[in-house]
């Protein structure tokens, strides 16, 4: 692959997400020209567009290394210097390592940087060294270490422990750490993460100041501590259930899971591996060598480059190709329409889709087995009614054997500039699995204000039998999550209510004080959630009172386990946890109010 030097980017912009964890620290139609005499002439037949090719070069922002590549550390450092503090910059990078052994490396990861091995197993690609995320750029505060990832590598940390001090939208997937894993920044400053899946950490995981964390289908040596909300499902070595003290929510298995697609090399040929679905999953998928699943050659993908039009991307989809989005920013004049079952849309290096003119970025038909993974949707300045739609309204087909998965797909409204969307993600298709998403109405950066980046609703689930594993949704003007489908399940939820509500009247919801972070619709008869947390930090008007974090009909099969609400430093308060149940928060002590079981 060709190498290229990182280009310049915008300087970092930071703002109000700096007081998130005091406790944790202690946390138009075209015109046709022609004469009138030709107006009645029959139009010439439209030429069928030339077929688009599959496969091809991955582009200049995918840097591919093998053990004999000279100057690897210098290239890694060069990318990091650009991306370290470029929180809302335009740079996007994927760092890919061919199978083999590498020594003496420290891959520091900044914003919009992904690192991954190109083997079928993490153990095919070993780095004797570290993949590091720290928070020196932000004075030791890791609460803004978003949008970066590590995947499919084995690490032998130099000190015995690898540092991964991240916040939201920073997955650690399919990794083998032959040692320990420290989730806090050096100095143990504030931290607000995070997500691990399909990984093995031989030693201890130390979250230290991390406020919350979700670990799925993994194996760990041990887990050190918990601050507010540590959730485990299908994790060998997880601590025992003990919420709220320590705040561990532990499920022996994950009901349904299917790991994220990933790029790998078979000889000199790039392929995309598609892991199979597991039920009642526990532990890693790769423990016995080759994982179970199928693969596709890169020739079956349209390898997209930034600047390509939505029309071309849709032509590729209609042609039967999958999409591989190489790192960069893609402006969409129309939605990407995914109408074919088993279509894969895989992003590298936080490929970013921006819908122009108020369109929806992605629309998925009511078909089996679509896999969306590894990209960011950034709202445009013209309001979009929705940004991502999984299935049309009224979708009702049974997809239990082959569900659609949405994995490491992140949504942002504002921050990089003004953006608006009425609803960010709508899930209409049954049996959809939302596996790690951060849906964020920005609280800092450019284009931020109560009406400037207006976004009323984060995630709306209308489909039945939907499962969310790792649901992060924050700062929406009204409801962050609304769930209307039957038999929905959520394992781990993290939320902050909108900081910037100007006053109590702005969030008044009829007779209720504020909109719940997570609301189950009144007609729902079956729903279940485990390990759900909502925080408030009303810094514009600290006198605002939020009645509750969670709202649900009172029915025996609508059940919640291990809920909490927290007032961050007394900037606003909750009266209850769920409905009218649970103690109010009070004072400035940043102590959670909890409900272990509801009803």
Active site residues: 496
Q: Confirm if 420 and 448 have CB atoms less than 8 A apart.
A: no
> Strands 527-536 and 593-598: what pairing?
unpaired
CA distance 592 to 20: 13
CA distance 299 to 301: 5
C-alpha 241: how far from its chain's center? Answer: 26
CA distance 427 to 445: 28
Phi, psi dihedral angles at 557 (to 5 degrees): -100, 10
Q: Two tokens at 335?
A: 């939605």
Neighbouring residues of 377: CB distance < 8 A, sequence distance ≥ 6: 352, 353, 354, 355, 361, 362, 387, 388, 409, 410, 411, 412, 424
Cα 471-219-495 angle, rounded to 5 deg: 15
CA distance 271 to 430: 29
CA distance 387 to 440: 12
Q: Confirm if 142 and 167 have CB atoms less than 8 A apart.
A: yes
Which phi-psi region, left, alpha or beta, contains residue 319 (left: φ > 0; alpha: ψ -120 to 50)? Answer: alpha
Q: Mapping DSSP to helix (H, G, I), strand (E, B) and coil, where does residue 122 land?
A: helix
CA distance 269 to 87: 34
Q: Is the peptide bond before 155 cis (omega within 30 degrees of 0)?
A: no
Q: Which residue has the tokens 């107006």?
A: 39
Residue 487: count other Cβ atoms within 10 Å of its Cβ: 17
- Alpha helix (H) residue ranges in 237-386: 310-318
Q: Mapping DSSP to helix (H, G, I), strand (E, B) and coil, where does residue 540 land?
A: coil
CA distances from 9 to 80, 150, 328, 329 (A): 12, 22, 12, 13
Residue 191: count other Cβ atoms within 10 Å of its Cβ: 31
């Amino acid at each position: 692959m060709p190498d290229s030097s990182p280009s310049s980017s915008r300087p970092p912009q930071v703002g109000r997400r700096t007081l998130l964890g005091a406790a944790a620290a202690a946390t138009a139609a075209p015109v046709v020209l022609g004469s009138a005499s030709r107006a009645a002439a029959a139009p010439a037949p439209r030429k069928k567009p030339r077929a688009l090719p599959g496969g091809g070069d991955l582009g200049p922002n995918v840097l591919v290394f093998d053990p004999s590549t000279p100057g690897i550390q210098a290239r890694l450092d060069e990318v990091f210097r650009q991306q370290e503090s470029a929180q809302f910059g335009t740079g996007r990078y994927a760092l890919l390592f061919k199978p083999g052994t590498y020594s003496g490396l420290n891959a520091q990861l900044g914003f919009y940087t992904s690192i991954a091995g190109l083997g079928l197993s993490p153990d095919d690609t070993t780095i004797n060294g570290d993949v590091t995320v720290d928070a020196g750029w932000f004075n030791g505060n890791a609460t803004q270490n978003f949008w970066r990832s590590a995947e499919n590598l084995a690490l032998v940390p130099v000190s015995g422990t690898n540092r991964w001090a991240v916040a939201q939208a920073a997955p650690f997937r399919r990794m083998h750490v032959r040692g320990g894993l420290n989730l806090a920044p050096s100095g143990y400053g504030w931290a607000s993460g995070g997500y691990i899946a399909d990984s093995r950490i031989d030693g201890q995981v130390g979250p230290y100041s991390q406020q919350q964390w979700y670990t799925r289908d993994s194996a760990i040596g041990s887990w050190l501590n918990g601050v507010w909300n540590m959730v485990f499902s299908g994790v060998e070595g997880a601590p025992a259930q003990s919420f709220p003290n320590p705040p561990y929510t532990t499920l022996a298995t994950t009901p349904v899971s299917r790991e994220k697609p990933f790029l790998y090399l078979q000889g000199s040929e790039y392929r995309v591996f598609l892991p199979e679905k597991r039920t009642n999953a526990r532990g890693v998928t790769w423990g016995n060598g080759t994982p179970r699943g199928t693969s596709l050659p890169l020739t079956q993908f349209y390898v997209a480059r930034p600047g390509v039009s939505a029309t071309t991307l849709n032509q590729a989809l209609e042609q039967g190709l999958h999409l591989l989005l190489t790192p960069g920013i893609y402006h969409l004049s129309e939605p990407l329409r995914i109408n074919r079952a088993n279509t894969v849309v895989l992003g590298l290096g936080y490929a970013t889709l921006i819908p122009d003119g108020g369109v929806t970025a992605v629309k998925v038909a009511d078909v089996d087995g679509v896999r969306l993974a590894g990209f960011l949707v950034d709202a445009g300045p013209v309001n979009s009614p929705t940004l991502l739609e999984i299935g049309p309204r009224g979708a009702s087909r049974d997809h239990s054997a082959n569900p659609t998965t949405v994995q490491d797909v992140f949504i942002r409204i504002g921050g990089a500039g003004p953006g608006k969307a009425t609803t960010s993600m709508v899930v209409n298709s049954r049996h959809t699995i939302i596996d790690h998403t951060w849906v964020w109405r920005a609280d800092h950066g450019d284009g931020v204000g109560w009406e400037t980046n207006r976004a009323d609703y984060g995630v709306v689930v209308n489909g039945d039998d939907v499962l969310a594993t790792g649901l992060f949704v924050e700062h929406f003007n009204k409801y962050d999550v609304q769930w209307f489908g039957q038999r929905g399940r959520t394992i781990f939820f993290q939320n902050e209510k909108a900081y910037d509500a100007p006053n109590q009247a702005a969030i008044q919801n009829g007779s209720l004080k504020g909109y719940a972070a997570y609301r189950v619709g009144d007609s729902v008869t079956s729903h279940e959630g485990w390990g759900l947390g909502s925080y408030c930090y009303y810094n514009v008007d600290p006198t605002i009172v939020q009645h509750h974090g969670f709202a649900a009909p009172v029915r025996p099969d609508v059940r919640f386990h291990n809920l909490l609400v927290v007032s961050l430093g007394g900037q606003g308060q909750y009266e209850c946890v769920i409905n009218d149940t649970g103690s109010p928060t009070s004072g400035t002590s940043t102590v959670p109010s909890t409900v272990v079981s509801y009803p």
